[in-house]
A and B are shown apart, each in its own frame.
Chain A
Amino acid sequence: MKETDIKFLEDSFKKYYFEHFDLISVPERTSEREFGYQKFNSGMIRHISIKNDKELHLLFMQNIPSDVYCSNAYYTFPNLPMNEKDWKEADLIFDIDAKDLNLSCRENHTVSICNECNEVSKNSEHCLKCNSIKIEKKSLPCKNCIDSSKTEVSKLSEVLIDDLAIAKENIYVYFSGNEGFHVYVYDSQFQQIGSRERSELTDYIMFNASIPETFGMKRFKPNRSSFPDFNEKGWRGRFSKHVFCSKSKRSKIISELIVNGYPAFQKTIDDVAEKIGVKIDPNVTMDIHRIFRLPGSINSKSGLTKIRCKNLTEFDPYIKASFLSDDSVEVFANCPIEFCLKNKKFGPYTNEKVTIPIFAAVYMICKKLATIA
């Protein structure tokens, strides 16, 4: 990234942080957490320990970080190297990202930026100008991306509450600042489980690796009475609602399933998994030493803030998570996709000089689709 762009982003971020310390506070049990941050064009600095809000705000003002992170894990010595930290426990965290949902709309709002010649082309596996395969994809998520992510959050909450007995008030949903949501679960029975156990838990939530027997189908002499009832709890219940559609069709569909046989049933399960399984990023949940973007901080991939969504249905990140200045700035924009921020439409721009509000300029510069003029 160019020096002028970095300077501009730093100034904009600094202004936000200075004016919005109310949005940024240390998490509970602060002194047991590991903090970390990144500066523009630079690597990660982590293994930091922080005592209170004052120290945290000082970190923001002194370093003007591009991104700030905090562990979901609790350690005795958070500032020591990883193997000396003495891991105690970790909150459960789930990451739902629009890019993992196989949405058909992605094609329309993803661009490929060539790392060699900087050409911006429509979504492609190689640069349309120099044919290089060293490309970086950037997406400007649309309303469908956000709505689909929200649906996954709701599906996740249902499994957490109904199957895993997690109290609703212990589930916190945050907009990640870019393309999805982070779901935090506090004070659950899972605080102390390790990485392999968390990986198993993700397979459960995602509906991975289930077998026909679980849903009553056997290889030999399947028994009608072992198939799930419409009102059953857990995955058997969700499976039957999805496959049988209504109570009255249950009997007929079971007959069909039995006739089709065991291998076909496995196929049915795999198809159903794709639809009703919750699409979380399994690697995030199973990592018990990760540091996560700090709520209230800006995501440098977009310039939007990671913010808690108390009312998920009504939440619109392009209004609620954009906190940067409305002042104008002049940029060179090469952004082939239209986007909407704070209820204003921008783009598409083809290699042109435009004067736009800072919040929109930051968004495009973060996506590498504009530079300061």
Chain B
Amino acid sequence: MLELGQDEIAKYPFLADAGQYLKDKGFTLEQFGTDPDLKQLVDKAFDRIQVAANGKIYKSDLVEAQVSKEAALPREVFSFLLAIVLLKLSGMHTLIKRFSLAEARRAEKYLEKDLANISDESKKELAIRVIDDLFSVQVEKLDDYFVIPVSDYLKHSINFHEREWKLINRHVENGQVFLTPHETVRLIRKELGTYINSKIINAKTPAMISGFEDSVNKLVSLSKKFVTFTVTTGEYPPCIKHVIEVLEKGENLPHSGRFMLASFLLSKGQSVEQIAPLFKNAPDYNERVTLYQLNHLAGISGSGTKYTCPSCEKLKTQDLCFAIPECDNIINPLQFGKKRK
């Protein structure tokens, strides 16, 4: 466990042991529901969730000038801990997800600042240690950059869909990737969100605390705003249409194209028996092999893993993407034609 100072807990409250923190400060959760001075903090916690739910980052009182103020720091931590209590009491997973992501982005700002702040050695070290402890990424400072091993970089960058994050679009030298403080922190955003999310999910749900009911009820109705319905047009995306055309003409389709088509149709609910005849025209068609491979993809034989359709980015590099305007920034062909209502 990292040793943290008061201002560090305020910046990275998810690193604190919540129960222990309250105990150390001499409070119980019940007091927050009854004591009028402390109750303000429950409202503050509610605000913190509401801001997150709307996709914004909670603006804290932690403006540089105020950091020294003894009172501001614990308030900051309390509002985070109470927000978790409220979320647990409401049981609304969509809100927990949104809250985790927003908190991750908030912490990201501080991490970035701490990394860039080279005049203060200890701050830089904390940021580097947080990244190493939580995400096993070994960051080293090299001139104006932060460098991390290519293998560590890849483990995180594969979660990004933008081309700028591909290794080819990075400065790579000597087995290491060169990043700015901003990029270093951005690299672990998703994992930071996942980390905070799992901490909340794994936290114990307390019994309803008197004085918390109002806020909890408001959260339940707030979460209804985020329920979405999707409708699908049912039309195939251009990449799928293209490979079907190739097969119909009896031309040879590379393995990657066959994989895409089969995994796409399986995900859309078609059976192996429905899909197999599509490959009949292939010059090297062999019924036994086709069925074996389809069953394998469907998870019926072999390891039992169900394969899913490759991402648009992957298909681009395999020359299988024929994007049209209707693709509209989807990241997987399976999303084609889906509209939120």
Residues of A whose CB lies within 8 Å of any CB of B are 81-83, 133-136, 163-166, 189-190, 192-193, 196-197, 199-201, 203-204, 207-211, 213-214, 233-236, 282-283
A276 to B217, CA, bound (A): 62
Establish whether residues A189 and B149, one from each chain, have CB atoms under 8 Å apart when the complex forms.
yes
* Chain A residue with Cβ nearest B285: A134
> Which of B65-73, B159-167, B268-276 lies at the interface with chain A?
B159-167
**Smallest Cβ distance from B5 to chain A, in angstroms?**
34
Contact residues of B between 133 and 155, Cβ < 8 Å to A: 149-151, 154-155
Which of B151, B168, B302 contacts A189, CB < 8 Å? B151
Establish whether residues B168 and A214, one from each chain, have CB atoms under 8 Å apart when the complex forms.
yes
Which of A82, A136, A200, A209 contacts B302, CB < 8 Å? A82
Establish whether residues B284 and A193, one from each chain, have CB atoms under 8 Å apart when the complex forms.
no
Contact residues of B between 262 and 285, Cβ < 8 Å to A: 283-285
Chain A residues closer than 8 Å to B176, beta-carbon distance? 165
Establish whether residues B163 and A211, one from each chain, have CB atoms under 8 Å apart when the complex forms.
yes
* Chain B residue with Cβ nearest A81: B303
Q: Can you list 16 A-B pairs, Cβ within 8 angstroms, ordered by A? A: A164-B150, A164-B172, A165-B174, A189-B151, A200-B154, A200-B166, A200-B167, A209-B168, A209-B317, A211-B169, A213-B164, A214-B169, A233-B173, A235-B168, A282-B317, A283-B256
Which of B167, B256, B283, B305 contacts A204, CB < 8 Å? B167
A283 to B250, CA, bound (A): 24
* Chain A residue with Cβ nearest B169: A214
**Smallest Cβ distance from A159 to chain B, in angstroms?**
9
Establish whether residues A196 and B169, one from each chain, have CB atoms under 8 Å apart when the complex forms.
no
B304 at interface by CB-CB < 8 Å: yes
Query: Given A211-B163, A213-B164, A213-B169, A197 and B255 touching (CB < 8 A)?
Result: no
Query: Given A133-B250, A135-B283, A192 and B172 touching (CB < 8 A)?
Result: no
**Smallest Cβ distance from B43 to chain A, in angstroms?**
44
B313 at interface by CB-CB < 8 Å: yes
Chain B residues closer than 8 Å to A136, beta-carbon distance? 284
Establish whether residues B150 and A189, one from each chain, have CB atoms under 8 Å apart when the complex forms.
yes
**Smallest Cβ distance from A50 to chain B, in angstroms?**
22
Contact with A along B168-181 (1 / 0, CB 8 A): 11111111100000
Establish whether residues A211 and B164, one from each chain, have CB atoms under 8 Å apart when the complex forms.
yes
Establish whether residues B149 and A197, one from each chain, have CB atoms under 8 Å apart when the complex forms.
no
Establish whether residues B167 and A201, one from each chain, have CB atoms under 8 Å apart when the complex forms.
yes
B158 at interface by CB-CB < 8 Å: yes
**Smallest Cβ distance from A291 to chain B, in angstroms?**
14
Query: Given A196-B158, A208-B168, A210-B169, A134 and B284 touching (CB < 8 A)?
Result: yes
Query: Given A136-B284, A189-B151, A190-B151, A200 and B158 touching (CB < 8 A)?
Result: yes
Contact residues of B between 300 and 323, Cβ < 8 Å to A: 302-305, 313-314, 316-317
* Chain A residue with Cβ nearest B163: A211
**Smallest Cβ distance from B171 to chain A, in angstroms?**
7
Establish whether residues A199 and B169, one from each chain, have CB atoms under 8 Å apart when the complex forms.
no
The interface centre, meaning the residue of B302, B305, B313, B317 with most chain A CB atoms within 10 A of its CB, is B317
Chain B residues closer than 8 Å to A233, beta-carbon distance? 173
B194 at interface by CB-CB < 8 Å: no
**Smallest Cβ distance from B136 to chain A, in angstroms?**
11
Chain A residues closer than 8 Å to B168, beta-carbon distance? 203-204, 207-210, 214, 235
Chain A residues closer than 8 Å to B155, beta-carbon distance? 193, 197
**Smallest Cβ distance from A208 to chain B, in angstroms?**
5
Chain A residues closer than 8 Å to B170, beta-carbon distance? 214
**Smallest Cβ distance from A239 to chain B, in angstroms?**
11
**Contacts across chains A and B counted by CB atoms under 8 Å:** 89
A166 to B151, CA, bound (A): 12
A346 to B256, CA, bound (A): 37
Chain B residues closer than 8 Å to A196, beta-carbon distance? 158
* Chain A residue with Cβ nearest B167: A204
Query: Given A197-B151, A204-B167, A163 and B172 touching (CB < 8 A)?
Result: yes
Q: A82-B303, A200-B166, A203-B167 are in contact. List 11 more A-B contacts (CB 8 A).
A: A134-B284, A165-B174, A166-B175, A201-B154, A201-B167, A204-B168, A208-B317, A210-B166, A211-B169, A214-B170, A235-B172
Establish whether residues B303 and A83, one from each chain, have CB atoms under 8 Å apart when the complex forms.
yes
* Chain A residue with Cβ nearest B259: A283
**Smallest Cβ distance from B71 to chain A, in angstroms?**
46
Chain B residues closer than 8 Å to A204, beta-carbon distance? 166-168, 172
Establish whether residues B175 and A164, one from each chain, have CB atoms under 8 Å apart when the complex forms.
yes
Chain B residues closer than 8 Å to A135, beta-carbon distance? 283
B157 at interface by CB-CB < 8 Å: yes
Establish whether residues A163 and B250, one from each chain, have CB atoms under 8 Å apart when the complex forms.
no
Which of B158, B167, B283, B303 contacts A134, CB < 8 Å? B283
Establish whether residues A197 and B172, one from each chain, have CB atoms under 8 Å apart when the complex forms.
no
* Chain A residue with Cβ nearest B162: A211
Establish whether residues A193 and B151, one from each chain, have CB atoms under 8 Å apart when the complex forms.
yes
A349 to B282, CA, bound (A): 31
Contact residues of B between 232 and 259, Cβ < 8 Å to A: 250, 255-256
Establish whether residues A234 and B171, one from each chain, have CB atoms under 8 Å apart when the complex forms.
yes
A133 to B150, CA, bound (A): 45
Establish whether residues B314 and A199, one from each chain, have CB atoms under 8 Å apart when the complex forms.
yes
Query: Given A136-B284, A193-B151, A283-B255, A234 and B172 touching (CB < 8 A)?
Result: yes
Chain A residues closer than 8 Å to B174, beta-carbon distance? 163, 165
Establish whether residues A234 and B163, one from each chain, have CB atoms under 8 Å apart when the complex forms.
no
* Chain A residue with Cβ nearest B314: A199
A81 to B302, CA, bound (A): 8
Chain A residues closer than 8 Å to B285, beta-carbon distance? 134
Chain B residues closer than 8 Å to A192, beta-carbon distance? 151
Chain B residues closer than 8 Å to A209, beta-carbon distance? 163, 166, 168-169, 313, 316-317
Chain B residues closer than 8 Å to A134, beta-carbon distance? 283-285
A82 to B150, CA, bound (A): 28
A190 to B285, CA, bound (A): 37
The 5 closest A-B pairs by CB, nearest first: A165-B175, A197-B154, A83-B303, A204-B167, A82-B303
* Chain A residue with Cβ nearest B311: A196
**Smallest Cβ distance from B283 to chain A, in angstroms?**
5
Chain A residues closer than 8 Å to B256, beta-carbon distance? 283
A155 to B182, CA, bound (A): 33
